Structure 1
Amino acid sequence: MSNVISMEKVRKRKNKTGKFVLLIICLVFILVIFAFQLINVNIITVIGNKIYSEEKIKNIVGIHEKTNLFVYKLASKELNLEEYPYIENIDIKYRSFNNVDIVVNEKSVISYIPYMGKYLCLSKDGTVIDYTNDLQVNIPIVHGLSFDHFVIGDKLFTDDTDIFKSILEISHKMKKFDFKIDYIDFNYNDPEQIIIKIDKISISIGNINDINRKFELLKDLIGKLPEGVDGTINLTDADKRNIIFTPYNSK
């Protein structure tokens, strides 16, 4: 009988042994992860949420303090956000076995538009996000628009794109100049006559041409006025050097 063992058999034995060891290592790794998850509470950090609470975001995502993040990640599927109109997307970032960041990107409301006793919430792309009476602070209410229907999730403006551009531009500038604009009034018969209201002051800005210059002049003038005064300001001509404030009780 030959005592010679072929190299092919040796290689096969080594391959079987190597696969077996690898399998054992994988099983131990999985068991360690499960054991670690059982004895530890998840650290969950919710970032970027303003409208929805942290607990609501956790429920939407399906991650809680005792969720097995390893299994969750393996079974991860696309989130259904259709019921949450203010959410653009949610990104889940895993820091470790039990540490996760939930990053929420909410849609921003640039204006409210009154309609049949409630308000349409308009996003920066002209989409109607919501129809509600629950209004956030420091977002202007737009008057003077006319339409007969709307669909949440669709764009409100189709033909009157100039009006939406005006709303968007005023929204950008009010943030730049730190204006708290309460109302934006459009004259439906004459879209070149836009009036904004800050506190008790009505400001005629005409159209949005030279809006940056107009708001620079407005910032300078309002800074010189006493608090609580009411009156009007005409900013239709941005080239005009001396902008006049007219109190309502002036004769």
Structure 2
Amino acid sequence: MNRKMQRNSNSVRKRLLLKSIKAFIFIGLPIILFGFTFQLKNLTIQGSSRNTPEQVKEQIIKTKLDSNALLLYLKYTFFTDVQIPFVEKVDMELLSNNTIKVRVYEKMVTGCVEFMGEYLYFDKDGYVVESSSKRLEDIPQIIGLKFNKIILHEKLEVQKEDLFDVILNLTQLIEKYQLEVDTISFNNRYEITLQCGDIKALIGKRSTYDEIIAELSGILKEAQGMKLDKLDLRNFKDGKGTIIAIPENPTD
């Protein structure tokens, strides 16, 4: 009786071992081969200026499965959006079994306002696209806008709708002439002051700002090394008028 039970026990163990071997051959081995074949070894990042490649990688590769090139490609191509600050979307290209190229498309940011300790960045139409405690040095802060509420992904409600056209025109010109502008300030008459490093440039209120920004660019280049506090260009128009340069700590 004991021999019969032992034979049955050995037979059961053999069947279980055989099933385990078959399971490994048909399931486990393909998984191992799949993981080895598509092991992610190279991830190249293009188009990211506001986040370092390392920061982008940290936001993309979050689980062990993300270390598989094919699974990573399928995940972000068909199923999941990448959530990265100041990034609109990313496109992935599977170059080989082990290499993925990531193309980053950043959000178009025109300016920012400070609200309750946060910087809220908006696009050319005035829609808030990002909120961050981080102040981007290349994006001018807008001062003098009045608003009752600020909601992410909604439009800023300010005192004059066409102010966003003015801001867009100014930021485009600032970029064109490669000016370093920290703030764009509006007073209650909508006259504009630009903070260019240590120099305040009073440019007033105009229908267009192309001429005055071009003039300001030339003046700032000539004034390099000079200790100036203000440049008053409010009376300069059509190539005529006075430009007043006020030095730092002027003496009486």
**TM-score interval w.r.t. the shorter chain?**
0.7 to 0.9
| 2:94 partner SS | strand
Residue aligning to 2:219: 221
- Give matches, 1:111-126, under 5 Å: 111-126=111-126
| 1:149 partner SS | coil
* Contact 1:89/1:104, CA 8 A, preserved across alignment: yes
Structure 1 residue 195: deviation in Å?
1.6
Question: Could you tell me how far apart the structure 2 residues matched to 1:35 and 1:223 are?
Answer: 58
Residue aligning to 2:12: none
Question: Could you tell me how far apart the structure 1 residues matched to 2:51 and 2:224 are?
Answer: 38
Residue aligning to 1:206: 204
Specify whether residues 119 and 37 from structure 1 end up closer, same or farther in structure 2 by C-alpha distance, changes over 3 A only.
same
Identity %: 23
Question: Could you tell me how far apart the structure 2 residues matched to 1:102 and 1:77 are?
Answer: 15
Specify whether residues 226 and 41 from structure 1 end up closer, same or farther in structure 2 by C-alpha distance, changes over 3 A only.
closer
Question: Could you tell me how far apart the structure 2 residues matched to 1:194 and 1:144 are?
Answer: 10
Q: How many residues align?
A: 218
| 1:151 partner SS | coil
| 2:110 partner SS | strand
Structure 1 residue 223: deviation in Å?
2.2
Residue aligning to 2:18: none
Could you say which structure has the higher helix fraction?
Answer: 2
* Contact 1:47/1:102, CA 8 A, preserved across alignment: yes
* CA RMSD after TM alignment: 3.1
- Give matches, 1:34-73, under 5 Å: 34=34, 37=37, 41-62=40-61, 67-73=67-73
Normalised by the size of structure 1, how large is the TM-score?
0.72
* Contact 2:235/2:242, CA 8 A, preserved across alignment: no
Structure 1 residue 132: deviation in Å?
3.3
Residue aligning to 1:77: 78
Specify whether residues 65 and 235 from structure 1 end up closer, same or farther in structure 2 by C-alpha distance, changes over 3 A only.
farther
- Give matches, 1:126-141, under 5 Å: 126-141=126-141
Question: Could you tell me how far apart the structure 1 residues matched to 2:35 and 2:85 are?
Answer: 38
- Give matches, 1:1-251, under 5 Å: 34=34, 37=37, 41-62=40-61, 67-73=67-73, 76-81=77-82, 83-157=83-157, 160-188=160-188, 190-191=189-190, 193-227=191-225, 228-241=227-240, 243-248=242-247, 249=250
Structure 1 residue 177: deviation in Å?
0.4
Q: Which runs of 5+ in 1 are unaligned?
A: 1-29
Normalised by the size of structure 2, how large is the TM-score?
0.72
Structure 1 residue 247: deviation in Å?
1.1
Structure 1 residue 69: deviation in Å?
2.7
Deviations 1:19-44 (A, max 9, x none): xxxxxxxxxxx99x838626x65211
Specify whether residues 106 and 243 from structure 1 end up closer, same or farther in structure 2 by C-alpha distance, changes over 3 A only.
same
Q: Which runs of 5+ in 2 are unaligned?
A: 1-29
* Contact 2:65/2:71, CA 8 A, preserved across alignment: no
Structure 1 residue 110: deviation in Å?
2.6
Structure 1 residue 217: deviation in Å?
1.4
Mean Cα displacement is larger for which, 220-229 or 235-244? 235-244
Question: Could you tell me how far apart the structure 2 residues matched to 1:52 and 1:210 are?
Answer: 34
Mean Cα displacement is larger for which, 178-187 or 42-51? 42-51
Structure 1 residue 238: deviation in Å?
2.4
* Contact 2:145/2:159, CA 8 A, preserved across alignment: no
Structure 1 residue 61: deviation in Å?
3.5
* Contact 1:169/1:208, CA 8 A, preserved across alignment: no
* Contact 1:127/1:155, CA 8 A, preserved across alignment: yes
Question: Could you tell me how far apart the structure 2 residues matched to 1:101 and 1:127 are?
Answer: 30
